[in-house]
A and B are shown apart, each in its own frame.
Chain A
Amino acid sequence: MKRILAVALLVSIGISAHADPAKRSGYSYAEPETRSIQDDDFANPGMLWVETGEKAWATADGESGKSCQSCHGAADGMKGVATHYPKFAASAGKVIDMEQRINLCRENGMKAKPYKWESQELLGLTAFLKMQSRGMPVSVSIDGPAAPLPCQGQGRVLSAARPA
């Protein structure tokens, strides 16, 4: 449930007009009542996680004694970054999402324990980082190393196939 709330907040990313009219933000499918809650930062419960993330951003942790801010500076410098995730990370050798990126930073940069999946801090930092890109269109690369594997995209075929 908590994850749904945090993600609901993030749906507001990409409200702005896309070049491609066929692409619509999930926000545009929501009922007006749901949208009005999302539009009001006070009523939007996702903002509680943004607050948690804002605190985590500036809190030093791990053996390096660093916080996110120590390397990345003020959070508004991260504007637009979240629109590119999920993204291929050369250091991981695979496509990773925002949560995995945060935990890579924790392990490699901060020498801290990675956050537990679904933990308040991880959800919070993710929501806070995505908040910095609010209103920007999503811009995920699906070519080069992030291109789908040959086996991907076969789901529809497999799903429709009758067992022999």
Chain B
Amino acid sequence: MTQSTARVKVPATAAKGEIVEIKTTIGHDMESGQRKDKDGNPIPRKIINKFLCTFNGKEIFRSDWYPAISANPYLSFFMRATETGRFEFAWTDDDGSVAKATADITVG
């Protein structure tokens, strides 16, 4: 599923002070490094090791991920909506590549 892109779901609008749910998912094999191929050689670890979400440039959610996280990880969290702005999401892969997504919310 490595070819799949990141997807995010955020309500388009929210009332000021409302608690909104932010849902994210990304297609990724999350190869743990613990498995062996059919010749007995270890399959190298390749996982997303960091997730970061910023809102209007300010960090609002960060998490470090480890090999026990499943393939195609789904993550949701909540935020109190206080102002209109843009979410930016970044998933950092072991190989250094970063998958990105954005979403906008209008508060008022």
Contacts and interface: CB of A to CB of B under 8 A. Distances in A.
Interface of A: 42-43, 45, 48-49, 51-52, 55, 120
Interface residues of B, number: 11
B46 to A, nearest CB: 16
Contact of A48 (B9, B23, B72): B72
Contact of A51 (B4, B9, B23, B74): B4
B9 A52 contact: no
B72 A42 contact: no
Given A42-B23, A43-B74, A45-B74, A52 B7 contact: no
Nearest to A123: B1
Nearest to B3: A52
Contacts of B74: 43, 45
A42 B4 contact: no
Contacts of A42: 7, 9, 23, 25
A53 to B, nearest CB: 11
Given A42-B7, A42-B9, 6 more contacts: A48-B25, A48-B27, A48-B72, A52-B3, A52-B4, A55-B3
Contacts of A45: 25, 72, 74
A48 B5 CA distance: 9
Nearest to B23: A42
A120 B1 contact: yes
Nearest to A49: B1
Nearest to B9: A42
- Of listed A42, A45, A48, A120, residue having the most chain B CB within 10 A: A48
A120 B2 CA distance: 10
Given A42-B7, A45-B74, A52 B23 contact: no
Contacts of A48: 1, 4, 25, 27, 72
Interface in B22-42: 23, 25, 27
B25 A43 contact: yes
Contacts of B25: 42-43, 45, 48
A101 B18 CA distance: 50
13 contacts: A42-B7, A42-B25, A43-B23, A43-B74, A45-B72, A45-B74, A48-B1, A48-B4, A48-B27, A51-B4, A51-B27, A52-B1, A120-B3
Kindly list the 7 A-B residue pairs having the minimum CB-CB distance in the complex, ordered from nearest: A48-B27, A48-B4, A42-B9, A45-B72, A48-B1, A48-B72, A42-B23
